[in-house]
Amino acid sequence: MEASQLTELARRIDEAISVAPDRTAGTMRPIRSQASAQVRSLAPDEVLQLALLLLECFPTVPRWFIYEMIHCHRPALAHLDSLSLSQLGRGMSSWGEVDAFAGYLAGMAWRDGRLSDAEVHEWARSHDRWWRRAALISTIPLNRKALGGSGDVLRTLEVCELLKADRDDMVVKALSWALRELAKRDPAAVTAYLQRAGPELAARVLREVRNKLETGLKNPRRPSRKS
């Protein structure tokens, strides 16, 4: 597809979003499904070019929308590498954007060997809170069965170890999530990690992960007091 045709397709996607009554997921997802149908026949590099064009020139289009579009185009998803991921992630500025990027794209590329441990560790050492969060959320596809994960204690805990002392709220919440997801696969490994790293972990992480291990819930409901 020629550049002018990609630009026209991007413009049509942007127009469909611009006239939508709201930006809720319920309203946006049918539009994203339509966009996915429109790009189904495109080559992987064309889908990634379209995604970058939307990110750079059409700010009306939500980032999660673009990341989902790539995720649902399996050849494009399998085409992702370190360079394309760094381009797609540039400018992330909210937890929703990061979680879609890391959960739908980066974590799956890492799981499949197209993103290295060293590159994810570099994100974990970033001065940018959103890249640090991305490193942790990228562990979710390693462990979540619905995303094809089979469990990866070593790589998950290596990233957790790099960020255990981080007290940025967005990172603390991501660390809790990463450990809770791993706990579904290997509760013994997570229990041992809490015992070893507990003094360096945020109180929120300890509370939520212990709750998950003991009750299966992050925040179990307390029994009501009877008068």
User: pLDDT tens for residues 158-170?
Assistant: 999 999 999 999 9
Range of the domain at 65: 1-79
Asked whether residue 42 falls in the same domain as residue 137, the answer is: no
Asked whether residue 129 falls in the same domain as residue 200, the answer is: yes
- The band of 81, judged by pLDDT with boundaries at 50, 70 and 90, is very high
Burial classification of residue 217, based on how many CB atoms lie within 10 Å of its CB (0-12 exposed, 13-18 middle, 19 or more buried): exposed
pLDDT value for 224: 55
Reported as a single tens digit per residue, the pLDDT across 5-51 is 999 999 999 999 999 999 898 999 999 999 999 999 999 999 999 99
pLDDT of residue 223 exceeding 80: no
- Determine, yes or no, domain membership for 99: no
- The band of 115, judged by pLDDT with boundaries at 50, 70 and 90, is very high
Domain boundary among 21, 54, 79: 79
Domain boundary among 34, 57, 79: 79
Domain boundary among 79, 101, 135: 79
- Determine, yes or no, domain membership for 96: no
Asked whether residue 26 falls in the same domain as residue 74, the answer is: yes
Looking at the structure of the chain, the number of domains it has is 2
Asked whether residue 124 falls in the same domain as residue 54, the answer is: no
Asked whether residue 130 falls in the same domain as residue 215, the answer is: yes
Mean confidence (pLDDT) of the chain? 95
pLDDT value for 138: 98
- Determine, yes or no, domain membership for 95: no
For position 187, which CATH number holds? 1.25.10.90
pLDDT value for 227: 41
**Start-end of H helices in 138-202:** 140-143, 153-163, 169-185, 187-197
pLDDT of residue 226 exceeding 60: no
pLDDT of residue 69 exceeding 60: yes
- Determine, yes or no, domain membership for 105: no
Asked whether residue 41 falls in the same domain as residue 131, the answer is: no
**Start-end of H helices in the chain:** 3-18, 25-39, 44-57, 63-71, 74-77, 82-89, 95-101, 107-111, 117-124, 129-137, 140-143, 153-163, 169-185, 187-197, 203-215
- Determine, yes or no, domain membership for 85: no
pLDDT of residue 2 exceeding 90: no
- The band of 74, judged by pLDDT with boundaries at 50, 70 and 90, is very high
Asked whether residue 75 falls in the same domain as residue 138, the answer is: no
- Determine, yes or no, domain membership for 225: no
Reported as a single tens digit per residue, the pLDDT across 177-222 is 999 999 999 999 999 999 999 999 999 999 999 999 999 888 887 6
Stretch 57-82: mean pLDDT, rounded? 96
- Determine, yes or no, domain membership for 188: yes
